[in-house]
A and B are shown apart, each in its own frame.
Chain A
């Protein structure tokens, strides 16, 4: 039982007795893990060694069945429904493991719940962490690297798309099991395109073309602006990756811990300038930080295009099937942006982490569930229902996905886009402790800078400088504290 935190006196004594503790766990159940927190030598992917015994996959055979585990996730609406269905299927199909789901309304809230749980030991057995949580979870020393489980269970990862695995590999070690992959796509109103004299099957692919298309739309009066943008930070991350450039230093944080951002260069400036000019010229409407307004702008005739995650496809199509949005024939296309042979969109979405504070049997059970969520059939069903990208190529050739893609070809766009990208450090994406979200960390700084640019007309150079400064400050603070 955890000691009651009642008496400051007890605390004082404990402190004096325990000395400075910059990261010791006062928890006895985690026997593993301090050796693989990313301190392995830098270098190519296969160089790092990870100890398979960190993942006790065999513990399941001797345990009392069923082993009950808890999965904390952040799926909502249509995606949550499908996850519930799959989990029920898993629970019904075997009697070794029983999974209970616990939902948070968003990734940041899921993370808050997790980090709060680090001190109170209220943690799940399997955790769905957004792509940006990677470094933070590694630093928390509370997860079992997926590589250990893969080795221990002799799991075959060859069927999984390489880029997806690279995404979750730091200093040669893969830490998470992929689950729901997405990347940003262009959503556009085919009806509006036709009415404006544009070819509805030829949406823009570069930023230049977006501008031209927007101009045509505005000129024709079909909508008041060409494209609607949510104020968010990941656009620039994606565009830098498409240009084949790293977002933060030290190999995008994958060769060694990142100490500063790398987007304050010509490419970054060009991106901010493009955004600023588009908005000033009335071709772009900024819809703020809300989650759905940039979509709603389309049937509202305020814009004809928007860019957002393919993860929303399921929900968005559900939304647009309702009566009030009848004037919209929605199309999906690859995300427009810089095009480089070394570039590609980032692997977005989230992945599953086995938590090392659980008992051995629970860890083994959590791994089993993670395997299920990543297997061929599950991924086919999951992708078909949600619009997420399947992590295995084989899933695209079997039911139900194969039929779904025929029915709704838009769902294939993100997948093709993923495969088309190069596999390198730039496209693997930045790894950063304080990656942040609105109001905090690097993304918070970027969001504030872009918001100032749109709302107050801050010049792009100044906005870029502000974003750089704010991000670097957050990075320094984090690196100081993590010791």
Chain B
């Protein structure tokens, strides 16, 4: 290796490292300060906590007194409902758009797409009234009203984007496959479950992940449509950190706890994640 090359590579690593450090600094502080005994915070020299001083108690305080454990549970329930809803409605609708023919099909598809034009922030307060009214319905009122899991999930059980994505995947299946299946006597249901879904799995998984991230990170709707009884973790973080100047380690522990699920997903499902997040951005 020539001397010049050595400089070059070192320079590249240096740039990378500087950028990486600057980038990750806040996260680093988040983890370190979650372990910091509150006394040390006043000195503001809190870049490092020695293993001896590390206080793990912040995590259990955040989990219990701070209710983060409860909030995480609520997030899991609501997110599951939303993801399931979005995937199911998308697959069903996409099947219809891709493989069936019916009057007004094109119009309906356009209707699906137009839903993407109306941001939730525009309609949320009317939805709040609607959900509150749902609470008065007989039988189901307790499950779909204000401050219920149903109420938190209902507005998001379907998206135009989901139908679009899965329809695209279905459309890319070769025509011969359909014809062969028809010859073999496959009805719609069998075709859907035995052929279409398995072959479109990457797109469906991508949709699932996309939906998961969207649902898990929601803030506005859980903020206005629930009380502490069904609070999700994103909204809960704001409450845990409020007035916690004397217990910053607890607030940060809460942040770490709230991020762990996404971190895990990021690592385990990296490939599908990239696909889901870039869906529509790049070819293939």
Closest to A327 in B: B42
Closest to B39 in A: A324
Interface pair A299/B245, CB less than 8 Å apart? no
- Count contacts between A and B, CB distance < 8 Å: 34
Given contacts A105-B239, A322-B38, contact A292 B133 (CB under 8 A): no
- Whether A151 is near chain B, meaning CB under 8 Å from some CB there, is no
Q: How far is the CA of A319 from the CA of B243 in the complex (A)?
A: 12
Interface pair B129/A322, CB less than 8 Å apart? no
Given contacts A2-B136, A296-B245, contact A324 B239 (CB under 8 A): no
From the candidates A4, A105, A300, A322, name the one contacting B242 in the complex (CB within 8 A): A105
CB neighbours (8 Å) of A293 from chain B are 245
A472 to chain B, nearest CB (A): 29
Interface pair A291/B38, CB less than 8 Å apart? no
Q: C-beta contact mask, B32-57 vs A, less than 8 Å → 1, else 0?
A: 00000111011000000000000000
CB neighbours (8 Å) of B136 from chain A are 1-2, 4
Given contacts A2-B136, A4-B133, contact A299 B246 (CB under 8 A): no
Q: Which residues in chain A, 111-144, are within 8 Å of chain B measured between CB atoms?
A: 120
A333 to chain B, nearest CB (A): 23
Interface pair A299/B42, CB less than 8 Å apart? yes
Interface pair A292/B39, CB less than 8 Å apart? no
- Whether B217 is near chain A, meaning CB under 8 Å from some CB there, is no
Q: C-beta contact mask, B221-263 vs A, less than 8 Å → 1, else 0?
A: 0000000000000000001001101100000000000000000
B105 to chain A, nearest CB (A): 29
Closest to B242 in A: A105
- Whether B80 is near chain A, meaning CB under 8 Å from some CB there, is no
CB neighbours (8 Å) of A2 from chain B are 133, 136
Which secondary structure dominates chain A's binding surface? loop
Interface pair A291/B243, CB less than 8 Å apart? yes
Q: Which residues in chain A, 287-335, are within 8 Å of chain B measured between CB atoms?
A: 290-293, 296, 299-300, 319, 322-324
B39 to chain A, nearest CB (A): 4
Interface pair B129/A5, CB less than 8 Å apart? yes
- Whether B168 is near chain A, meaning CB under 8 Å from some CB there, is no
CB neighbours (8 Å) of B132 from chain A are 120
Interface residue count on the A side (C-beta < 8 Å)? 19
Interface pair B245/A292, CB less than 8 Å apart? yes
Q: How far is the CA of A319 from the CA of B41 in the complex (A)?
A: 15
Closest to A301 in B: B42
B31 to chain A, nearest CB (A): 21
Interface pair B246/A292, CB less than 8 Å apart? yes
Interface pair A323/B39, CB less than 8 Å apart? yes
A292 to chain B, nearest CB (A): 4
Q: How far is the CA of A290 from the CA of B243 in the complex (A)?
A: 8
Closest to A299 in B: B42
A384 to chain B, nearest CB (A): 23
Q: How far is the CA of A319 from the CA of B245 in the complex (A)?
A: 10
Interface pair B38/A292, CB less than 8 Å apart? no
CB neighbours (8 Å) of B42 from chain A are 296, 299-300, 324
Closest to B38 in A: A324
Closest to B239 in A: A105
Closest to A293 in B: B245
Q: How far is the CA of A300 from the CA of B38 in the complex (A)?
A: 13
CB neighbours (8 Å) of B38 from chain A are 322, 324
Q: C-beta contact mask, B125-160 vs A, less than 8 Å → 1, else 0?
A: 000011011001000000000000000000000000
A73 to chain B, nearest CB (A): 15
Q: How far is the CA of A319 from the CA of B38 in the complex (A)?
A: 12
6 tightest A-B contacts by CB? A324-B39, A292-B245, A4-B133, A291-B243, A300-B42, A296-B245
Partner-A contacts on B (CB < 8 A): 37-39, 41-42, 129-130, 132-133, 136, 239, 242-243, 245-246
Q: What are 12 A-B pairs with beta-carbon distances under 8 A?
A: A1-B136, A2-B136, A5-B133, A76-B243, A105-B239, A120-B132, A290-B245, A291-B243, A292-B245, A293-B245, A300-B42, A322-B246
Known: A5-B130, A319-B246, A324-B38. 6 other contacts (CB 8 A): A2-B136, A6-B133, A292-B245, A323-B39, A324-B37, A324-B39
